[in-house]
C-alpha cells in the first residue's frame, strides 16, 4: 500500500478507501495543513463562509501527539461526531444557500462509529473490545441516508460539490474494476476504462486530477501492458490542464532517470547532501512523511539494511513531504526512530521542491541508485531492498 496525492479533497485511488472513524489509516487529505481561517471582516459580512471555513479547519485538525492507537480511534470518533454536528447545523441553517451542500460533502467523508468504550485485549494480534451507542449510530445512519437522497436530487449544488460527487462516483466504479483485476484476476476492457478516464477529464477540465493518469497506467500494468511512457504521451493533449502537466512531467521524469540524478540540498540538521559526491556508492532516495503509515512501515527494513551495508558503501537520503506545521513533529520522529540519514525538508508537503521535480504523486517513493547515480529501481521496498543493495554492492 502507498498513499497518493490528494485531488479535490480525496485520494486518487481512493474514492476507494476513505478512512472511516476509528480507522487507523491516515490519508493524504487528512494530513494536509488546515486552510487559513477567513478574515474576521469577511466572516462578519458572510457568516456562512466563516462557518464553512471553521468546518474545514475542524475536519483537518491533527490528532494530539503521543496518543495510543485506541486513544486515536476514540479521538477520531469524537472528531467525526463534531464535524457531523457542525455540518448539519450549516445545512439546516441555510436552506436556500447552495453552499450548504459543501458542508454536506465534508460531512460525508467522516463517519462516526459512536464508541461507548474501546478496551484493549492482551495479545499481539488481539482486537480491542468495542461497545457502541447503537441508538446514536442508527440515528446517524438514517440522517445520512436522507441527506444522500437529497444530495442526489439537488439542483443547486455548487461546482465544487458536483465535482467531488462525480469524482467519488467515477472512482468508485474504477476501484471496483481495479480490485476485480488485481484480486480476482478478472480482466478489464482497457478501451472502456480509458473512456471513463477521458470522459471524467473532459467533464472537469479545470480539476487538479492529473495524477489520476497513474491509475490508468496501473490498469494497463495489471493487464500485462508495460508501456507507461507511450501511454502517458497519449494524454499530452488532454482537455484537463493538470493531466497534460502530469503526463509531461512524468515522461520528463523517465528521461531524467536515464542520466545520473543530481540532487543537492542542505538537510534539516544542517548536513550538506550532494548526490554527485556520493558517486561510487549505492544510494536510496526515500520520499516519505511522518503522516504516511506505509512509509513508516518501511523503516525497520531500511534501518536494518542501512546498519548492515552502510560501511560497505550504502547510503540513504530522505526527502520529507511533511508540512511546515509538522516540522517539530518530524524532528522528534527522526530522533525517536534513530534515523541516521539526512533529511530534506522545505515544509511544502506535496509541493516539496523535489517531489514536484520528479512527479511524485504517491509515497513511499523509493529510488535506488547504482554507483553511477542512475536509478535502477523505483520499487525497492520491503525485502527487495536488501536483495538489490547486495546485488549492486557485489555481496
Q: Where are the domains of the chain?
A: 48-156, 163-258, 264-393
- pLDDT 10s digits, 226-247: 899 999 999 999 999 999 998 9
pLDDT of residue 41: 60
Q: Judge whether residue 373 has pLDDT over 60.
A: yes
Q: Give the least confident one: 23-27, 141-145, 341-345, 346-350.
A: 23-27
258 vs 57 pLDDT, higher one: 57
- pLDDT 10s digits, 106-136: 999 999 999 999 998 887 667 889 999 999 9
Q: Judge whether residue 296 has pLDDT over 80.
A: yes
Percent of the chain with pLDDT over 90: 72
Q: Mean pLDDT across the stretch 14-25?
A: 33
In DSSP terms, 10 is beta-bridged to 7
Closest CA to 327 of 356, 348, 300: 348
Are the beta carbons of 84 and 107 closer than 8 angstroms?
A: yes
Instruction: Return the C-alpha cell found at 337.
Output: 526512530
Q: Judge whether residue 14 has pLDDT over 80.
A: no
Topology (CATH) of 264-393: Glutaredoxin (3.40.30)
pTM comes to 0.70
Chain position carrying cell 487528512: 30
Amino acid at each position: 500500500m502507498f498513499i497518493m496525492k490528494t485531488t479535490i479533497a480525496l485520494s486518487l485511488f481512493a474514492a476507494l478507501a476513505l478512512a472511516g472513524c476509528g480507522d487507523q489509516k491516515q490519508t493524504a487529505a487528512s494530513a494536509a495543513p488546515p486552510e487559513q481561517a477567513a478574515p474576521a471582516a469577511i466572516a462578519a459580512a458572510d457568516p456562512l463562509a466563516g462557518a464553512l471555513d471553521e468546518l474545514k479547519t475542524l475536519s483537518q485538525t491533527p490528532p494530539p501527539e503521543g496518543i495510543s492507537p485506541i486513544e486515536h480511534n476514540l479521538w477520531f470518533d469524537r472528531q467525526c461526531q463534531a464535524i457531523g454536528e457542525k455540518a448539519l447545523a450549516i445545512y439546516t441553517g441555510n436552506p436556500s444557500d447552495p453552499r450548504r451542500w459543501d458542508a454536506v460533502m465534508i460531512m460525508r467523508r467522516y463517519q462516526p462509529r459512536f464508541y461507548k468504550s474501546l478496551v484493549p485485549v492482551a495479545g499481539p494480534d488481539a482486537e480491542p473490545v468495542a461497545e457502541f451507542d447503537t441508538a446514536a449510530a442508527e440515528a446517524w445512519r438514517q440522517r445520512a441516508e436522507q441527506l444522500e437522497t437529497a444530495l442526489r436530487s439537488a439542483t443547486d449544488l455548487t461546482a465544487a460539490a458536483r465535482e467531488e460527487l462525480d469524482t467519488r462516483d467515477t472512482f468508485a466504479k474504477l476501484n471496483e474494476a481495479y480490485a476485480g483485476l488485481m484480486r480476482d484476476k478478472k480482466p478489464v476492457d482497457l478501451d472502456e476504462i480509458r473512456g471513463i478516464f477521458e470522459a471524467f477529464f473532459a467533464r472537469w477540465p479545470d480539476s487538479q486530477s492529473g495524477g489520476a493518469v497513474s491509475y490508468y497506467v496501473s490498469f494497463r500494468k495489471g493487464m500485462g501492458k508495460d508501456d507507461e511512457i507511450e501511454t502517458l504521451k497519449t494524454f499530452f493533449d488532454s482537455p484537463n490542464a493538470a493531466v497534460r502537466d502530469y503526463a509531461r512531467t512524468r515522461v520528463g521524469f523517465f528521461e531524467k532517470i536515464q542520466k545520473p540524478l543530481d540532487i543537492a540540498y542542505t538537510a534539516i540538521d544542517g548536513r550538506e547532501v550532494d548526490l554527485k559526491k556520493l558517486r561510487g556508492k549505492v544510494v536510496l532516495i526515500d520520499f516519505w512523511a511522518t503522516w504516511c503509515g506505509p512509509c513508516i512501515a518501511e523503516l525497520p527494513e531500511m534501518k536494518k539494511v542501512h546498519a548492515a551495508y552502510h560501511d560497505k558503501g550504502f547510503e540513504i537520503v530522505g526527502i520529507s513531504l511533511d508540512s511546515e506545521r509538522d516540522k517539530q513533529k518530524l524532528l522528534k520522529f527522526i530522533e525517536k526512530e534513530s534515523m541516521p540519514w539526512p533529511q530534506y525538508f522545505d515544509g511544502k508537503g506535496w509541493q516539496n521542491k523535489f517531489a514536484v521535480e520528479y512527479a511524485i504523486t504517491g509515497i513511499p517513493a523509493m529510488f535506488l541508485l547504482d554507483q553511477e547515480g542512475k536509478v535502477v529501481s523505483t520499487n525497492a521496498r520491503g525485502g527487495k531492498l536488501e536483495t538489490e543493495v547486495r546485488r549492486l554492492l557485489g555481496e
